[in-house]
Amino acid sequence: MAISTTLAAPRTKTAAIGDRGFRWLVTIAGAFVLLALGAAALSMLWGGRAAFAKFGPAFLWSGAWDPIGQQFGALVPIYGTLVTALIAMLIAVPVSFGIAMFLTEVAPRWLRAPIGGAIELLAGIPSIIYGMWGLFVLVPVLAGHVYPWIDAHLGQWPLVGVLFAGPPLGLGMLTAGLVLAIMVIPFIASVMREVFRTVPGRLKESAYALGSTRWEVVWDVVLPYTRSAVIGGIFLGLGRALGETMAVTFVLGNAHDLTASLLMPGNSIAATIANEFAEADSAMYRSSLIALGFVLFLVTFVVLAIARLMLHRLARREGR
């Protein structure tokens, strides 16, 4: 693939200048990508400097959110972001694994392409549609039929009961987690399906020849072979769940309260920014919201970096 510079040296002087100019142009464009990410981080650090300077590290664990008294803390949004993403992953990871297993081992061949395509269709739908559907369709169903039952039954259990007790508003952390799960399932499932496909046929055939069942092939051959990439795919979905804005904003309820109950409204970093930024009327308010964005950026950066490293590990073994 590599083209040695001496071989490709142009003959005339003007052609040489053009050639070198193009080389510079593409190099600058490449550097621009690096610059974009660095500038995004720095600009948010700069925009949030007033909040960081005033509240210090306590910004991260202060539960205050008082635009009138000019007191801001990130605890409630951070808590909401983590809890909704956790709920989403608890639902999405096993389901995605099941879908990937179905699409690579269980389903008859003629069924694999159409169902795989349909699942990927789900990934293409804009997130605002998920949000609207969640607010107008899912919330009334949950509030009318599902949450009263959860409150009456699971809410009575010792220890975990406090998570599921509360008025059936429909809006809240559990709803947001469910909508997020529906959103990230196609992402995780398609990554898992892709990596499951990279398992060499002879490995699986050997296992089948020894009398393994399909489940044993998936669990003992496919999964160990693809483990790092599967974790990478899960983290990719987690990164998306943490940063998703519109789907969550519609159904989370926008309440700055720290509650144990998952049925109660809450807030996430992205939803707080989306709801309040355009109306933020003081410099400190705006700075605090940008500081929140910086926190979100850092968290997703770490999660996505882990995802990419894990995915690279399988790719490297594959010799790609």
Partner 1 sequence: MRRMLQLRRNATNLLAQSLAVAATAFGLFWLAWIVWTTLRMGLHALTPALFTQMTPPPGEGGGMLNAFFGSALISLLGIAMGAPIGVLAGTFLAEYAQTPWSARIGAIIRFVNDILLSAPSIVLGLFVYTLVVAPSGHFSALAGAIALGFIVLPVVVRMTDEMLRLVPAQMREAALSLGVPQSKVVLQVLYRASLPGIVTGILLALARISGETAPLLFTALNNQYWSADINAPMANVPVVIFQFAMSPYEQWHALAWAGALVLTLFVLGVSLVARVFVARGHFTHD
Q: Phi then psi for 214, rounded to 5 degrees?
A: -60, -45
Our finding on whether 96 is near partner 1 (CB under 8 A) is: yes
Our finding on whether 15 is near partner 1 (CB under 8 A) is: yes
Beta bridge pairs of residue 71 = 66
Q: Is the separation of the CB atoms in 77 and 292 below 8 Å?
A: yes
Q: How far apart are CA 265 and CA 79, in angstroms?
A: 12
DSSP 68-108: TTTEE-SHHHHHHHHHHHHHHHHHHHHHHHHHHHIIIIIS-
Our finding on whether 97 is near partner 1 (CB under 8 A) is: yes
Our finding on whether 304 is near partner 1 (CB under 8 A) is: yes
Q: Binding marks (x or -) toward partner 1, 21..60, rule CB under 8 A?
A: xxx-xxxxxxxxxx-xx-xx--xx-xx-------------
Query: Considering only 54-62, 69-77, 130-138, 222-230, which stretch makes contact with partner 1 by CB under 8 A?
Result: 130-138
Beta bridge pairs of residue 66 = 71
Angle at CA of residue 268, ends 164 and 118, nearest 5°: 80
The sign of the torsion formed by the CA atoms of 53, 54, 58, 61 equals negative
**Total binding residues for partner 1 by CB under 8 A?**
99
Q: How far apart are CA 179 and CA 124, in angstroms?
A: 15
The sign of the torsion formed by the CA atoms of 150, 152, 158, 159 equals positive
Give, as ranges, the residues between 262 and 281 that touch partner 1 (CB under 8 A).
270, 273-274, 277-278
Q: How far apart are CA 312 and CA 318, in angstroms?
A: 10
Task: State how far Cα 49 lies from the chain centre.
Answer: 26
Complex with partner 1: residue 9 or 53, whichever CB lies closer:
9
The CB-of-162 to partner 1 minimum distance in angstroms stands at 28
Angle at CA of residue 141, ends 136 and 142, nearest 5°: 105
Complex with partner 1: residue 162 or 297, whichever CB lies closer:
297
Q: Binding marks (x or -) toward partner 1, 140..179, rule CB under 8 A?
A: ----------------------------------------
Give, as ranges, the residues between 227 and 256 that touch partner 1 (CB under 8 A).
236, 239-240, 242-246, 249-250
The CB-of-206 to partner 1 minimum distance in angstroms stands at 17
Query: Considering only 16-24, 51-59, 158-166, 255-263, which stretch makes contact with partner 1 by CB under 8 A?
Result: 16-24
Which residue from 74, 78, 103, 199 is in contact with partner 1, where contact means CB under 8 A? Answer: 103
- DSSP H or E segment with residue 307: helix 283-317
Which residue from 129, 160, 258, 260 is in contact with partner 1, where contact means CB under 8 A? Answer: 129
Query: Considering only 146-154, 158-166, 207-215, 221-229, which stretch makes contact with partner 1 by CB under 8 A?
Result: 207-215
Our finding on whether 90 is near partner 1 (CB under 8 A) is: no
Tokens of 258: 């720290």
Our finding on whether 69 is near partner 1 (CB under 8 A) is: no
Q: Binding marks (x or -) toward partner 1, 209..228, rule CB under 8 A?
A: ----xxxx-xx---------
